[in-house]
Amino acid sequence: MDVLKNTEVRDGKADAKETNERIGSIPESDEAFKVKDLLLGVSVEYVPKEGCEWYVLRATYGREIKALETIRSLGGVAYVPLYRTREERDGKIKKVLKPFVQQLVFLYSSKEE
Protein backbone atom coordinates (compact mmCIF):
# COMPACT_ATOMS: atom_id res chain seq x y z
CA MET A 1 0.00 0.00 0.00
CA ASP A 2 1.44 3.38 -0.99
CA VAL A 3 1.29 6.47 1.20
CA LEU A 4 0.74 10.07 0.10
CA LYS A 5 2.62 12.98 1.62
CA ASN A 6 0.75 14.98 4.22
CA THR A 7 -1.40 17.52 2.35
CA GLU A 8 -1.90 19.88 5.26
CA VAL A 9 0.72 22.61 5.35
CA ARG A 10 0.60 25.16 8.15
CA ASP A 11 1.56 28.16 6.04
CA GLY A 12 -1.02 27.25 3.38
CA LYS A 13 1.59 27.24 0.58
CA ALA A 14 1.38 23.61 -0.48
CA ASP A 15 2.56 22.70 -3.94
CA ALA A 16 0.03 20.29 -5.49
CA LYS A 17 2.81 18.39 -7.25
CA GLU A 18 4.71 17.92 -3.97
CA THR A 19 1.74 16.93 -1.83
CA ASN A 20 0.50 14.23 -4.19
CA GLU A 21 3.91 12.70 -4.82
CA ARG A 22 4.18 9.06 -3.71
CA ILE A 23 6.77 8.44 -1.02
CA GLY A 24 6.84 4.64 -1.01
CA SER A 25 5.15 1.73 0.64
CA ILE A 26 4.40 1.21 4.33
CA PRO A 27 7.19 -0.71 6.06
CA GLU A 28 6.29 -3.95 7.83
CA SER A 29 8.00 -2.95 11.10
CA ASP A 30 5.71 -1.01 13.49
CA GLU A 31 8.64 1.03 14.81
CA ALA A 32 9.72 2.19 11.35
CA PHE A 33 6.11 3.00 10.51
CA LYS A 34 5.70 5.21 13.59
CA VAL A 35 8.95 7.06 12.91
CA LYS A 36 7.94 7.69 9.30
CA ASP A 37 4.52 8.96 10.41
CA LEU A 38 6.09 11.30 12.95
CA LEU A 39 8.19 12.82 10.20
CA LEU A 40 5.10 13.29 8.00
CA GLY A 41 2.83 14.56 10.79
CA VAL A 42 0.34 11.72 10.25
CA SER A 43 -1.31 9.80 13.09
CA VAL A 44 -2.33 6.19 12.60
CA GLU A 45 -3.97 5.97 16.02
CA TYR A 46 -7.18 7.54 14.77
CA VAL A 47 -7.70 5.69 11.51
CA PRO A 48 -11.41 4.80 11.19
CA LYS A 49 -12.11 1.26 12.38
CA GLU A 50 -14.64 -0.93 10.64
CA GLY A 51 -17.92 -1.04 12.58
CA CYS A 52 -17.04 1.88 14.88
CA GLU A 53 -18.80 5.24 14.98
CA TRP A 54 -18.77 8.39 17.09
CA TYR A 55 -21.48 8.55 19.74
CA VAL A 56 -22.42 11.44 22.00
CA LEU A 57 -22.98 10.63 25.65
CA ARG A 58 -24.51 12.91 28.25
CA ALA A 59 -22.59 13.24 31.50
CA THR A 60 -23.88 14.73 34.72
CA TYR A 61 -23.05 18.45 34.97
CA GLY A 62 -19.42 18.95 35.94
CA ARG A 63 -18.45 15.29 35.51
CA GLU A 64 -17.36 15.28 31.87
CA ILE A 65 -13.68 14.77 32.70
CA LYS A 66 -14.48 12.01 35.20
CA ALA A 67 -16.58 10.22 32.55
CA LEU A 68 -13.73 10.63 30.04
CA GLU A 69 -11.22 9.10 32.47
CA THR A 70 -13.58 6.21 33.26
CA ILE A 71 -14.10 5.36 29.58
CA ARG A 72 -10.36 5.52 28.90
CA SER A 73 -9.58 3.33 31.94
CA LEU A 74 -11.91 0.67 30.48
CA GLY A 75 -9.93 0.78 27.21
CA GLY A 76 -12.36 2.95 25.24
CA VAL A 77 -11.64 5.91 22.99
CA ALA A 78 -13.33 9.09 24.17
CA TYR A 79 -12.92 12.83 23.65
CA VAL A 80 -13.97 15.96 25.50
CA PRO A 81 -12.93 19.30 23.96
CA LEU A 82 -11.24 21.28 26.76
CA TYR A 83 -9.84 24.76 27.17
CA ARG A 84 -7.77 26.46 29.86
CA THR A 85 -9.10 29.46 31.70
CA ARG A 86 -8.26 31.42 34.83
CA GLU A 87 -10.63 31.48 37.76
CA GLU A 88 -10.47 33.05 41.16
CA ARG A 89 -10.75 30.45 43.93
CA ASP A 90 -10.24 31.29 47.59
CA GLY A 91 -8.81 34.67 46.63
CA LYS A 92 -6.20 33.14 44.32
CA ILE A 93 -6.20 33.03 40.53
CA LYS A 94 -5.79 29.45 39.26
CA LYS A 95 -5.63 27.86 35.81
CA VAL A 96 -8.57 25.50 35.26
CA LEU A 97 -9.43 23.04 32.47
CA LYS A 98 -13.05 23.38 31.39
CA PRO A 99 -15.05 21.62 28.69
CA PHE A 100 -16.12 23.67 25.67
CA VAL A 101 -19.44 21.84 25.56
CA GLN A 102 -21.08 21.19 28.92
CA GLN A 103 -22.33 17.67 29.76
CA LEU A 104 -21.18 15.97 26.53
CA VAL A 105 -18.60 13.21 26.03
CA PHE A 106 -17.77 11.91 22.55
CA LEU A 107 -17.20 8.13 22.39
CA TYR A 108 -15.72 6.20 19.46
CA SER A 109 -16.95 2.65 19.64
CA SER A 110 -19.00 -0.07 18.00
CA LYS A 111 -22.69 -0.47 18.86
CA GLU A 112 -22.02 -3.72 20.71
CA GLU A 113 -19.42 -2.13 23.02
Tens digit of pLDDT for each residue in 59-68?
988 899 999 9
Tens digit of pLDDT for each residue in 23-52?
455 445 555 555 555 556 556 666 778 888
Alpha carbon distance 54, 63 (integer Å): 20
Which contiguous run of DSSP H or E holds residue 72? helix 64-73
Instruction: Indicate the pTM of the whole model.
Output: 0.55
In terms of C-beta density within 10 A (0-12 exposed, 13-18 middle, 19 or more buried), how is residue 36 classed?
middle
Percent of all residues in the chain with a pLDDT value above 70, rounded to a whole number:
59
Average pLDDT over residues 65-76: 92
